[in-house]
Structure 1
């Protein structure tokens, strides 16, 4: 993990490497800062919530994570950085990936002058029946 953090252009501090292990060992996942902080505490990693937020934002800036904003003040960090979208379960706040090729957009508006479209994120909000 230290090498992965270093290749991304970040200094592989103990806390960054420890959080990277929690994030990138295993399947892709969506986590909030609070969820990752709890995972770190459960794993006896001494890290503050502020450090978790800073690390998640740094990992996002260098392309190790994608931030998915589901509503104002509520973000998830996604370890799957490839082209895809999300179902957002409003009942419990969980996310599920939708492969990119399953969402088709007929047309995008022209980007404002001096800008370009970087990426398109589609969040389909669903509720479970019953």
Structure 2
């Protein structure tokens, strides 16, 4: 039986085709219970630990990638390998504050991409991500 506080996220996971494990429920509640946000695996791991959840960092990474593959999150990569997970699935772009590592949404209508190259044979453009880097 699923605790009442997890019912909404359990339904969300089930609708995405994911089993409702304890780890997924805990992380989904943290991710999706606070409106749109950007997290790294490390920040989510720390937030879960602050709430008393005993999870490994590897489990957090695995769940984030499973949520992304299931269409519940969108991954935004900045600075090579630094990845953020975004709960806002609507088309939009990002400001990236280089000093603090903060990521903020930019509404899609505020960015105009004048021209894109043709996709290579056998491929199609899935989306365009614009990251506007900011510093003081």
| TM-score scaled by length of structure 2 | 0.92
Q: CA shift at 1:108, angstroms?
A: 0.5
Q: CA shift at 1:3, angstroms?
A: 0.7
Which digits, 9 at most, give the CA deviation of each residue in 1:8-66, with x for residues without a partner?
Answer: 01101111011000000122110100000001110111111000000000000111001
Q: Does 1:125 align with 2:133?
A: yes
After the TM superposition, which residues 81-92 of structure 1 pair with which residues of structure 2 at under 5 Å, given as runs? 81-92=89-100
Match of 2:6 in 1: none
Structure 2 stretches lacking a partner, 5+ long: 1-8
Extract structure 1 runs of 4+ deviating beyond 3 A. Answer: none
Q: CA RMSD in A?
A: 0.7
Match of 1:96 in 2: 104
Q: 2:68 aligns with which of 44, 47, 60?
A: 60
Which digits, 9 at most, give the CA deviation of each residue in 1:54-109, with x for residues without a partner?
Answer: 00000001110010001112100001011000000011110110001111111110
Structure 1 stretches lacking a partner, 5+ long: none
